[in-house]
Structure 1
Amino acid sequence: MKSPGKVALAGFSALAIAATLAGCSAGGGSGKLELRVGTFPAGADPAAYEAFEKQEADFEKANPTIDVIGEEYEWKGPTFAVQLAGGSLPDVFTVPFTEAKTLLENGQLADVTKQVEDLGYADKFNPVILEGVQDNDGKIYGFPRQAYAMGLHYNRELFTAAGLDPDKPPTTWDEVRAAAKTISEKTGKAGFATMTFNNTGGWQLTAQTVARGGRTQVDNGDGTYTETIDNEGTKAALQFLHELRWEDNSMGSNFLLDWGTINQEFAAGNVGMYTGGSDVYTALVRDFSTEPDIYGLAVIPNEGDDPGTLGGGDIAVVSPTATEEEKEAGAKWIDYYYMQRLLDEKAAKFDAKTLADSDQAVGTPVLPVLDPETEEQRVGWIEKYINVPRDQMTSFIDNIGTQLPVGEPKGKTQEIYALLDAVVQAVLTDEDADIDALLEQANKDAQAILDAK
């Protein structure tokens, strides 16, 4: 197997190709444990792989019996189950928080309780976040590695071209609509776009529902859940999309977008605004070659009774088919690659410097998975390496602390997100779509999914 990072970088010269292939061929016969780890989506910036290779080399120097093999990886709801069943996933990979409970209940994640406890920082995790990777007995099935709150991403260049002030992004949904219409009229680009498939349409509809005070699911506290999709917040979110699409014509012509494709469109300058996780700037620069100057981040507008901001993140996990030796090696890699940068000054500075030297993002706004004191300490350690344009993110940084964090629905999350994809698509492709009827049916279908044994 070849590290995609090595392959990507090798393309620069024949000499590099020869050196890379020689390096890859050494693993199998060296007597080392080969550990396959998920890296980046296909097509990521070569600089990202360069940074990864430096970290890989540093890890292998400290762990000479382990040969790390990077593999291209991107979690996508519809394909993940097939990869998992077919055994094509790496030994170490990441999954969204929303998948953790279902996967661990199905025996599809390795129990890493001993490894986390041996590392000595189980008590430093935010307990609410840690609970998401624990079973009823408190056993731990993954390392929470990053978290985010939802934000409003906007293209400062398109704002300027449309005569809008990029330093004063919208703060209400009405202002978002007005800005989207202006951008579309002045530039011919989509003023606002939203994700619609691969479970992302349901994800963003849920986020926009929460921002309007609605909730799509109630946790009954006894292991059961009640669907409440048919609520005023969801109706308002869908009506908003209907108005932008059919009354304002401000959403462009592409209504099949997921996380990857909407980021591609944004990076290409074709989208004025969209909602998504606050941590996406790193991927925009690393994987989609976004120019930093065009990027802006604001808080997602909050309106109505009991509004909040949907949060989420992902966890690093070990394959359930891993041997004990592979599990130990996997935990060491996760600790090195994801966790020590949060906990140790030397590791934090090494990681930040490595990323900065490779022109990768350092300092992207996130929600800390560890206690506030540990996170504040980490930011202090890496301050001189921070290179993200945080002055273009002040609306988010200054205001996210005033918004109520709301976790994603826990019951059959991704299956219900997939169900809601179709609702979002219907509203955007059928001008006469009956929103009330769509939500009534979606609520029944979602509850059936929850009730199925």
Structure 2
Amino acid sequence: MKYSRTAAAFAIAGALALSSTLVACSSSDNDSGDSSSTTLDPKTKVTLNVVGLLPGAKPEAQQALAQEVTDFQNENPNITVKTHDYEWKATTFAADLAGGTLPTVFEIPFTDAKTLIANGQIADMQGYLNQLSYASNFNKNVLQYGQGQDGHTYAIPAKNVYAVGLHYNRDLFTQAGLDPNKPPTTWEEVRTAAKAIADKTGQAGFAQMSKDGTGGWQLTVDTYARGGRMLDGKKATLDNAQTKAALQYLKDLRWTDNAMGANFDYDWSGINQAFAAGKIGMYTSGQDIYTSLVQSNNINPKSYGLTMVPLTGGDSGVLGGGTLAALSSKASSNEKAAAVKWIDYHYLRKYTNEAAAKKAAEIQIASKQPVGTPELPIFSQQQYQQYQEWIKPLINVPLDQMSTFTSKVFDTKLVNEPAYATQDVYKALDTVVQAVLTDKNANIDQLLKDANVKAQRAIDAAG
């Protein structure tokens, strides 16, 4: 589950504020209906509504996107692009999609595509994707998230392909007498650092998301890091030993160490805001979150640090995910053809074309936006490294403060999110996390047993 867009981007907090008029606006001005063609006639006029920035993005980011739209329209004068602020939210997305209030091109987390494909809710984009010269070069482990059982691509890998990392505030580390250049490498070291930060600065040493599916998302991160899994095939295993250990760890941080502050109701955007404001010492989220912290939360780059989530146990790994671009199954042929042009231009071209990579980075620099935030490759690792070389002179993120993550992540086992009823699994676990953080006498075994029943019911219902 990517909420940033981890989530993801991962991204999950904030409702969509798009009106129902988008459906009418997104249709082609001269659209005569779907046709067998997968290319767009240059004479056909199309108005394309697309997702833009997170609500509250800074003016510089808005200006950069506006410039990108202008450049795209100059290259494609028959396509008019209209951007709309957008944050994916599990609790509202289904209703927005069913109600037709999403833009033509919208974003979804990796976890949701299979269900949307099976339900016939998003468009088959294979023929349109084939028009791209690099269509066969996608990282197959990434592309498969957006593919149906027929092997066709319905949702296109777009951005924020991520692994969850441990984010930490270097200033709070220093104030607590900790070395910010030597972040924790074990869960016990995280606990020690969290207590030191809480004791010496009065801020939360460690914080955990807990609502709108984010509590379950991050508890799954904690479980994977200890070698556990939430599913065995289609059997829910939420009450596994590693999840119990992770919850006991949170319980100890909260009630024994008093190291988690006073807010136990964080969602994705809320925890980002608190972290950027210097109120949290450490938390886990997608490694790409730095961009959002800059764009929406005005974080001080000098205070930011990123390292690996501690791993323990033979089958331990890091949860990974990302963002896919998709269209409603009701989209016309012309809309699909225009959408692939936008997806290529906005999301993907910078990874495959040196001039596009540099141009995108220069626009970001001019608008004081991050360039070079760590990502996992949509194409090959070699292609991503080539992209990094293209933009190297323009990188303005503190990569040296992220090196304990970037130097290890490619050699770390990445584990997919639960494959069935993902959001329902996460929601079932939300209540467990909330209970552990707010009730000193919370019964972890019983809470997980109840959550497992709920998750299994949702998995069975999904078929």
Same fold by TM-score, threshold 0.5 exceeded? yes
**Counterpart residue type for residue 64 of structure 2:** A
Please give the root-mean-square deviation of Cα atoms over the aligned residues, in Å: 1.7
- Given the alignment of the two structures, is residue 206 of structure 1 paired with residue 220 of structure 2, yes or no? yes
Identity of aligned residues (%): 51
**Counterpart residue type for residue 322 of structure 1:** A
CA distance in 1, matches of 2:287, 2:140: 21
CA distance in 2, matches of 1:401, 1:143: 22
Encode CA deviations 1:189-216: one digit per residue, 9 max, x unaligned: 1110011111111100001100011011
- Given the alignment of the two structures, is residue 217 of structure 1 paired with residue 231 of structure 2, yes or no? yes
Q: Which residue of 2 aligns with 1:59?
A: 72
Q: Which residue of 2 aligns with 1:5?
A: none
Encode CA deviations 1:13-37: one digit per residue, 9 max, x unaligned: xxxxxxxxxxxx9x99999422111
Return the offset for 1:253: 0.9
Q: Which residue of 2 aligns with 1:272?
A: 281
Report if aligned partners of 2:304, 2:401 keep a CA contact under 8 Å in 1: yes
**Counterpart residue type for residue 334 of structure 1:** I
Q: Which residue of 1 aligns with 2:19?
A: none
Q: Which residue of 2 aligns with 1:352?
A: 361
Q: Which residue of 1 aligns with 2:320?
A: 311
Taking structure 1 as reference, are residues 189 and 212 closer, same or farther at Cα in structure 2, changes over 3 Å only? Answer: same
- Given the alignment of the two structures, is residue 175 of structure 1 paired with residue 189 of structure 2, yes or no? yes
Return the offset for 1:373: 2.1
Q: Which residue of 1 aligns with 2:96?
A: 83
CA distance in 1, matches of 2:337, 2:190: 49
Encode CA deviations 1:141-173: one digit per residue, 9 max, x unaligned: 111123111100000011111111110100000
Q: Which residue of 2 aligns with 1:13?
A: none
**Counterpart residue type for residue 332 of structure 1:** K
Encode CA deviations 1:284-309: one digit per residue, 9 max, x unaligned: 10111111111000000001231111
Return the offset for 1:397: 1.1
2:57 is paired with a residue whose SS is: coil
- Given the alignment of the two structures, is residue 378 of structure 1 paired with residue 387 of structure 2, yes or no? yes
**Counterpart residue type for residue 340 of structure 2:** A
1:119 is paired with a residue whose SS is: coil
- Given the alignment of the two structures, is residue 187 of structure 1 paired with residue 201 of structure 2, yes or no? yes
What is the TM-score when the length of structure 2 is the normalising length?
0.89
Q: Which residue of 1 aligns with 2:20?
A: none
- Given the alignment of the two structures, is residue 446 of structure 1 paired with residue 455 of structure 2, yes or no? yes
Encode CA deviations 1:357-389: one digit per residue, 9 max, x unaligned: 111111111111111221121111111111110
CA distance in 2, matches of 1:233, 1:121: 41
Q: Which residue of 1 aligns with 2:260?
A: 251
Report if aligned partners of 2:28, 2:335 keep a CA contact under 8 Å in 1: no
How do residues 7-156 of structure 1 correspond to structure 2 at under 5 angstroms? 32-146=45-159, 147-156=161-170
Q: Which residue of 1 aligns with 2:17?
A: none
Taking structure 1 as reference, are residues 119 and 101 closer, same or farther at Cα in structure 2, changes over 3 Å only? Answer: same
CA distance in 2, matches of 1:314, 1:401: 19
CA distance in 1, matches of 2:365, 2:246: 39
Report if aligned partners of 2:372, 2:396 keep a CA contact under 8 Å in 1: yes
Q: Which residue of 2 aligns with 1:20?
A: none
Counterpart pick for 2:373 among 341, 345, 364:
364
**Counterpart residue type for residue 62 of structure 1:** E
2:130 is paired with a residue whose SS is: helix
Encode CA deviations 1:295-324: one digit per residue, 9 max, x unaligned: 000000001231111111111112222211
2:196 is paired with a residue whose SS is: helix
Runs of 4+ residues over 4 Å off in structure 1: 27-32
Return the offset for 1:401: 2.8
Q: Which residue of 1 aligns with 2:438?
A: 429
Report if aligned partners of 2:29, 2:47 keep a CA contact under 8 Å in 1: no
Report if aligned partners of 1:363, 1:387 keep a CA contact under 8 Å in 2: yes
Unaligned regions of 5+ residues in structure 2, if any? 1-24, 31-43
CA distance in 2, matches of 1:167, 1:372: 27
- Given the alignment of the two structures, is residue 159 of structure 1 paired with residue 158 of structure 2, yes or no? no
- Given the alignment of the two structures, is residue 289 of structure 1 paired with residue 302 of structure 2, yes or no? no
Encode CA deviations 1:92-144: one digit per residue, 9 max, x unaligned: 11110001111111111111101111113222111111111111111111111
**Counterpart residue type for residue 289 of structure 1:** N
Return the offset for 1:267: 0.8
**Counterpart residue type for residue 171 of structure 1:** T
Count of aligned positions: 423
Q: Which residue of 2 aligns with 1:22?
A: none
**Counterpart residue type for residue 221 of structure 2:** A
Larger displacement relative to structure 2 (200-209 or 323-332): 323-332
**Counterpart residue type for residue 89 of structure 2:** K
Q: Which residue of 1 aligns with 2:310?
A: 301
Report if aligned partners of 1:95, 1:316 keep a CA contact under 8 Å in 2: yes
Encode CA deviations 1:407-442: one digit per residue, 9 max, x unaligned: 111101011111111111011111111101111121
Report if aligned partners of 1:90, 1:319 keep a CA contact under 8 Å in 2: no
CA distance in 2, matches of 1:393, 1:95: 27
Report if aligned partners of 2:371, 2:396 keep a CA contact under 8 Å in 1: yes
CA distance in 2, matches of 1:410, 1:28: 36
Return the offset for 1:43: 0.8
CA distance in 2, matches of 1:123, 1:226: 34
Report if aligned partners of 2:28, 2:334 keep a CA contact under 8 Å in 1: no
**Counterpart residue type for residue 207 of structure 1:** V
Report if aligned partners of 1:318, 1:331 keep a CA contact under 8 Å in 2: no
**Counterpart residue type for residue 88 of structure 2:** W
Return the offset for 1:264: 0.5
